[in-house]
Amino acid sequence: MSSTKSPPLTLLLCLALAACAPKPDVVIYCALDQVHAEPIIRRFEAQTGLKVQAEFDVEAHKTVGLVRRIREESGSTRCDVFWNNEFAHTVAMAEDGLLASYDSPAAADIPPLFRDEQHRWTGFAARARILIVNTDLADPTTIHGMDDLLDAAWRGRVGMARPLTGTTLTHMALLFPVLGEERARAYLSGIIDAGVNLTSGNATLMRLVREGELAFGWTDTDDFNVAREAGYPVAAVYPDQETVGTLLIPNTVCILERAPHPEAARRLVDFILSPEIEATLAAARSAQIPVRASVSRPPHVRSAADMRVMEVDYAALGTEVDHRLAELRERFLR
């Protein structure tokens, strides 16, 4: 006679607990750092009584891990809402038919630059691409923009993240439509020829500048604010105010085309897009820049209304970012 072993008691208990656990009313995948996003999500739960299952990205994968999951799950969608900390992958998913159209009433006063014409995604709470300057090594009033990195006087003393992931990839890819093909390629070649130090990421670049190993370089305002709060001798230069302007990279939020809980998803999106949440993110350590001029912010956070913002065709970038990445890999992985 054959015999079968009973499942261990601990396994049975775990299965029973899982079966009894309340099912979520809405599921959100979130690429913004958990320390900033989770309190906002819990505030939504407290105000609405809805249960949110929030799944966050790990730093090593940045946004790419969650995007990959959404694409892999497209045949049987688990996620209702995607809160991305940038826009390129969001736009690409919209173009691939993965996002639903929803014209949130909370987004009515968000500038058209940050709203998809088909209402598949909305941008809010941006980071700016800035030059972080060590004021012990350089006078920030003499540094004006992107071309300063190529100045022979700073050879070996400036840097940027290798432009293959994250906001640096987005930034360099956007140079093509903003500057034109010829000027963009000349700038990328200039980075290599000028001996610009290439780091593993924006946070690494920030640390090298704040510690005085580099004089200045490209980073994001959230990384700059970490150094500023810690009391390091740093300043932020919002670049190219007399030419192409400063690039803003907004968070984006969207609803999946096959969201299992569409009504709750819309309520969550409305909440995230409210002016109160932009104000919360501006006051947080990440110092996000409100895209609405009317939203309150602390003195150290610039207003998008008082700077020249780079004019960007966000939709166009989403369709060509992979093509640009291939070219950047060829240039910067030699």
All structural domains of the chain with their residue ranges: 20-126+249-306, 127-247+324-332
- Angle subtended at Cα 41 by Cα 38 and Cα 44, rounded to the nearest 5 degrees: 155
- Model pLDDT for residues 95-127, shown as the tens digit of each residue: 999 999 999 999 999 999 899 999 999 999 999
237, with CB counted inside 10 A (0-12, 13-18, 19+), is buried
Q: Write the DSSP string, 2-64.
A: ---PPPPHHHHHHHHHHHHSPPPSEEEEE-S-HHHHHHHHHHHHHHH---EEEEE--GGGTTH
Name the band, by pLDDT with cuts 50, 70 and 90, for residue 60. Answer: very low
Distance separating alpha carbons of residues 33 and 35, to the nearest angstrom: 6
Q: What is the mean pLDDT of the chain?
A: 91
Name the band, by pLDDT with cuts 50, 70 and 90, for residue 57. Answer: confident
pLDDT at 35 over 70: yes
Architecture category of domain 127-247+324-332 in CATH: 3-Layer(aba) Sandwich (3.40)
> Phi and psi (nearest 5°) for 2?
-90, 150
Nearest to 61 by CA among 210, 201, 163: 201
Q: Of the ranges 57-66, 100-109, 206-215, which one carries the lowest mean pLDDT score? A: 57-66
Q: Are 20-126+249-306 and 127-247+324-332 the same fold in CATH? A: yes
Pairing relation of β-strands 26-30 and 52-56? parallel
pLDDT the model gives residue 20: 52
Whether 289 contacts 300, CB under 8 Å: no
- Model pLDDT for residues 14-29, shown as the tens digit of each residue: 455 444 557 999 999 9
- Tokens describing residue 320: 């060509």
Q: Locate all alpha helices (DSSP H) within 88-220, ordered by sequence.
A: 88-95, 166-179, 181-193, 202-210
Place of tokens 């309520």: 267
Provide CATH code, domain 20-126+249-306.
3.40.190.10
